[in-house]
């Protein structure tokens, strides 16, 4: 049986997914009857469009049914994250039964229980916490360039964060951007809820990846979560980031598998 910290990390991801719908003009969600369905600013099924069971006794078929109904109205596809802990065995079976397609490699859910040692910024690099709309634009610009490595379309981050005023005003979200001689080159977001911090969108532009700036912004984002009162900090690691996080002290708890309905439900 997963421990409390493991469950809280999953719940942090659910809360973050709900919150993202407020940070964009096209966002919406429905959270009732033990199911959360949420739509962000981007139409892409694996970015900001998905469904979670928020109560343990919800039938897995009901999660898919509600997601199909919600996204049919929006004309979008969506995704469902399935944990390999055994808790989501019925949900995985329902995804396969209803012809959602497994996408990509399993994603490590990692956790850190301690403040990270900060080794300082390289020469010419300054860390700034985002406190205005321009900073949100720099954050989005960094990750647009960083995640193009994975084939992410250029418009995704602009669409996901086109209400920067709301993002800046959200007390549970904190963002840092690293600037190299005034140019934004690395970034990370922390989302805090129920005593747990969740790191999202850690990214570095390709031509600055030799400078260990991913480490720098990860240290900042992790430590600010602990400063907010977190007892642990979690993240879903990319293939490129997993080894970095492990070196910093993050441990893998389990993996998420993504199941996707690529075309809008009928």
**CATH of residue 180:** 3.40.630.30
Q: Is residue 164 part of a domain?
A: yes
Residue of 201, 190, 203, 200 lying closest to 230 (CA atoms): 190
Same domain, residue pair 102 and 131:
no
Which range has the worst mean pLDDT, 78-82, 119-123, 180-184, 219-223?
A: 119-123
Same domain, residue pair 84 and 139:
no
Same domain, residue pair 97 and 129:
no
Q: Work out the angle at residue 144's Cα, subtended by the Cα atoms of residues 142 and 233, and round it to the nearest 5 degrees.
A: 65
Q: Convert the pLDDT of each residue in 89-113 to its tens digit.
A: 999 999 999 999 999 999 999 999 9
Q: Are strands 78-83 and 49-53 parallel, antiparallel or unpaired?
A: parallel
User: Could you give the percent of the chain with pLDDT greater than 90?
Assistant: 93
Same domain, residue pair 141 and 229:
yes
Q: Is residue 208 part of a domain?
A: yes
Using CB atoms within 10 A of its CB, is residue 81 exposed (0-12), middle (13-18) or buried (19+)?
buried
- Total domains present in the chain: 2
Same domain, residue pair 247 and 129:
yes
- Domain span at residue 97 reads 4-108+255-261
Q: Is residue 116 part of a domain?
A: no
Q: What number is the average pLDDT over the span 193-202?
A: 96
Q: Is residue 85 part of a domain?
A: yes
HSE-CB for 49 with a 13 A CA cutoff: 26
pLDDT, position 161: 97
Q: What CA–CA distance (Å, rounded) separates 53 from 64?
A: 10
Q: How confident is the model at residue 3 (pLDDT cuts 50, 70, 90)?
A: confident
pLDDT, position 53: 98
pLDDT, position 211: 96
Asked if residue 152 lies in contact with residue 109, where contact means CB atoms within 8 angstroms, the answer is no
User: Average pLDDT, whole number, for the chain?
Assistant: 96
pLDDT at 1 over 70: no
Same domain, residue pair 13 and 59:
yes
Q: What number is the average pLDDT over the span 163-184?
A: 98
Q: What CA–CA distance (Å, rounded) separates 218 from 200?
A: 10
Q: How confident is the model at residue 71 (pLDDT cuts 50, 70, 90)?
A: very high
Q: Convert the pLDDT of each residue in 11-66 to its tens digit.
A: 999 999 999 999 999 999 999 999 999 999 999 999 899 999 999 999 999 999 99
Q: Is residue 52 part of a domain?
A: yes
Q: How confident is the model at residue 162 (pLDDT cuts 50, 70, 90)?
A: very high
Strand arrangement, sheet containing 251-261: 28-32, 35-39, 49-53, 78-83, 251-261, 101-112, 232-236, 196-204, 183-193, 173-180, 125-129
Same domain, residue pair 100 and 187:
no
Same domain, residue pair 93 and 138:
no
Size (the chain), residues:
266
Same domain, residue pair 103 and 201:
no
Q: Is residue 115 part of a domain?
A: no
Same domain, residue pair 132 and 72:
no
pLDDT, position 2: 59
Same domain, residue pair 81 and 166:
no
Q: Is residue 118 part of a domain?
A: no
Same domain, residue pair 103 and 130:
no
Query: DSSP code of 42?
Result: -
* Torsion over CA: 82, 83, 87, 92 (sign): positive
What six digits make up the tokens of 220? Answer: 């900042």
User: Could you give the percent of the chain with pLDDT greater than 70?
Assistant: 99
Residue of 223, 221, 194 lying closest to 14 (CA atoms): 194
Q: What number is the average pLDDT over the span 200-206?
A: 97
Q: Is residue 69 part of a domain?
A: yes
Q: What CA–CA distance (Å, rounded) separates 16 from 39?
A: 12
């Amino acid at each position: 049986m997963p421990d409390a910290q493991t469950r809280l990390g999953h719940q942090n991801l659910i809360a973050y997914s709900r919150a993202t719908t407020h940070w964009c003009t096209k966002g919406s969600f429905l959270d009732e009857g033990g199911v959360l369905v949420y739509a962000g600013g981007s139409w892409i099924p694996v970015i900001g469009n998905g469904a979670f069971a928020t109560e343990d006794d919800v039938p897995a078929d009901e999660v898919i049914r509600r997601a199909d109904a919600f996204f049919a109205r929006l004309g979008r596809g969506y995704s469902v994250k399935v944990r390999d802990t055994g808790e989501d065995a019925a949900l995985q079976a329902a995804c396969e039964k209803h012809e959602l397609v497994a996408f990509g490699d399993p994603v490590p859910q990692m956790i850190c229980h301690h403040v990270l040692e900060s080794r300082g910024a390289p020469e010419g690099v300054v860390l700034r916490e985002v406190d205005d709309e321009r900073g949100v634009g720099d954050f989005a610009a960094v990750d647009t360039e960083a995640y193009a490595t994975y084939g992410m379309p250029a418009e995704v981050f602009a669409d996901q964060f086109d209400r920067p005023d709301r993002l800046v005003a959200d007390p549970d979200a904190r963002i840092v951007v690293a600037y190299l001689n005034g140019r934004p080159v690395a970034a990370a977001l922390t989302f805090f809820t129920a005593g747990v911090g969740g790191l999202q969108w850690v990214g570095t532009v390709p031509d600055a990846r030799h400078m260990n700036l991913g480490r720098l912004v990860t240290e900042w984002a992790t430590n600010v979560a602990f400063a907010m009162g977190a007892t642990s900090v979690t993240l879903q690691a990319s293939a490129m980031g997993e080894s970095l996080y492990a070196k910093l002290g993050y441990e893998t708890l389990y993996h998420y598998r993504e199941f996707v309905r690529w075309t809008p439900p009928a």
